[in-house]
Structure 1
Amino acid sequence: MEVKDLQKQKLAYKDVKFNLDTYWLDPISDYDEPVDHPLAIICPGGAFKFLTDREAQPIAFKFNAAGMHALVLDYQLIDDNHAVYPLALQELATTLNWLKTQTDHHIDLEKIVLMGFSAGSHVVANFNSIMLDPEQRSQIFAEDLTVEPSANILSYPVIDMTIGWPKDEDWAMKIAPDIYYWQAQEHLTKHGKPTFIWQTVTDNTVPVMNSILYAQKMDMLGIPYEMHLFGSGDHGLSLGTYVTQAPGNAANLNAYDVKWWELCLNWLKLRQILPRL
């Protein structure tokens, strides 16, 4: 199984253009029929200032190795013309609808996973809370959502922007002038999808209570979830191995927390997104 195309796909929501990095799996030529593969859409972190490559291509390749297509979404960041919200949600919805047109890539549209890291997790959590509820979605996205995700993965997520990150309220206002978007857990409904969450309790950037609040709300609503809170490690670990270590940065390595990826794959098997064998 090989990765077919590594290229930027340009999409647009209304007059705003955005990019996807695409990591498609090649069909295996000696099969009688092509196999439809699950797909992950990855939203890297970066404080809504930039998108870190440490949570992009290395994660896409891990999904490819597990038998999944992968896309990295270049979602809206803070700039002189736009806030992050609601545009990032509209871009993600546009991406999901676009998948239905990509028949050449043999995507299993019933097995789409959204994955976020840090600030990117805020986009995913808000999508799960707001955009999967038809009433809330209709306020900001006029089209139907023709493809829905089946599950989410939140890595050291920002969930509630009032409990420690960002520390500057002015920055929060630049992310979302409408405070409706600040607290993802407050808008979660029964329409939300099963979610895997992991973080460290020693996270020195995003308080671990973010993960706990979202899991608590999912528990109240009866939405399946799995959460792993590790006892050590800084924010932004990504894979926690040398693959995603910035040169000389020992804080990017954590032998205890690297198990999150294996646990995540096990959960995807539990959700029948990946085969058990």
Structure 2
Amino acid sequence: MQIRNVQLTQDYSSLDIYHSESDVALPAVVIIPGGSYQQIKERDSERVALTFATHAFQAFVVRYPVLEHRNYQQAKLAIAQAFDYIVAHAEKLGVDPERLGVVGFSAGGQLAAAYSNQPNGKAKFAALGYPVIKPTIDDRMGVTTEDVSQLVTDETPATFIWGSVNDELTPYLEHINAYTMMLAKHGVPFELHEFGTGNHGIALANKYTGIVNRDRVDRHMSRWFPLFLEWFAEVME
């Protein structure tokens, strides 16, 4: 595997590329980590990218502006630029553009949802982990966002969503439920897993991400990843 970073034209933004050699174009995921715009969490970034790579995906991680440079609109531009770069270099990167999607966690899930609803966006599917949907924690994050459930249209790509009933930061009724209701209203194919265990910010929920996440592991909630792979095979293959 070749791992490298390319700068995006958006300030304080770049794209990590985890390129697996392949004799065929592979499906690909653009990962948008969480971290409340304070940092790019390792639990949501390289460890997730490497896990996808072991399942025959090309993987990418967008590093968008955080800390004193944090800005929701600029982060959205960084994600759009990342997709544009990947599609423009798809052959060299071994990517099948028709199986290219976005995966986001928490605040990154809000950004991923926003991009998946962008007119003429290049994401063919979306996977959202305990996503922020409404701007209820903007003050906490220090940014001004939007209610991404209001962005859903008939053209929104198939979406896989998971979360935990124990999540107090982005409670189900206020966030995930609001989004899936809009998906259903617009006839967008989706699959939802709201686990009875786990919590917010748990990434893959296994030991691999738990090592860099205060040993937060939940065997049941970790099922989201194999469930996603099954869903992807049904929807995209």
Normalising by structure 1, report the TM-score.
Answer: 0.80
CA distance in 2, matches of 1:53, 1:107: 24
CA distance in 1, matches of 2:19, 2:156: 27
Aligned to 1:100, the other structure's residue is in SS state helix
Q: Which residue of 2 is the match for residue 175 of structure 1?
A: 143
Aligned to 2:133, the other structure's residue is in SS state coil
Q: Is the 8 A contact 1:20 1:74 kept in 2?
A: yes
After TM superposition, the structure 1 = structure 2 runs for residues 58-77 of structure 1, keeping only pairs within 5 Å, are 58-77=47-66
> Which has the greater radius of gyration?
1
1:258 matches 2:226 = no
1:116 matches 2:113 = no
Please report how far the alpha carbon of residue 239 of structure 1 lies from its aligned counterpart in structure 2 after TM superposition: 1.2
- Runs of 5+ unmatched residues, structure 1: 28-33, 135-144
CA distance in 1, matches of 2:213, 2:72: 35
1:153 maps to which of 127, 130, 133? 127
Q: Which residue of 2 is the match for residue 231 of structure 1?
A: 196
CA distance in 1, matches of 2:85, 2:73: 19
User: Which range moves more in the overlay, 201-210 or 107-116?
Assistant: 201-210
Q: Sequence identity of aligned pairs in percent?
A: 25
CA distance in 1, matches of 2:211, 2:58: 26
CA distance in 2, matches of 1:60, 1:83: 23
Q: After TM superposition, where is structure 1 displaced by more than 3 Å over at least 4 residues in a row? A: 169-172, 246-250
CA distance in 2, matches of 1:118, 1:185: 14
Using a 3 Å threshold, how does the CA distance of structure 1 residues 260 and 111 change in structure 2: closer, same or farther?
same
State the AA in 1 paired with 2:103. Answer: M
Aligned to 1:60, the other structure's residue is in SS state helix
After TM superposition, the structure 1 = structure 2 runs for residues 124-273 of structure 1, keeping only pairs within 5 Å, are 124-129=112-117, 131-132=118-119, 148-162=122-136, 166=137, 170-171=139-140, 174-176=142-144, 181-209=145-173, 210-246=175-211, 249-250=214-215, 252-273=216-237
Using a 3 Å threshold, how does the CA distance of structure 1 residues 149 and 248 change in structure 2: closer, same or farther?
closer
Normalising by structure 2, report the TM-score.
Answer: 0.92
Please report how far the alpha carbon of residue 211 of structure 1 lies from its aligned counterpart in structure 2 after TM superposition: 0.9
Q: Which residue of 1 is the match for residue 3 of structure 2?
A: 6
- Runs of 5+ unmatched residues, structure 2: none
State the AA in 1 paired with 2:223. Answer: K
Q: Report the aligned-residue RMSD.
A: 1.8
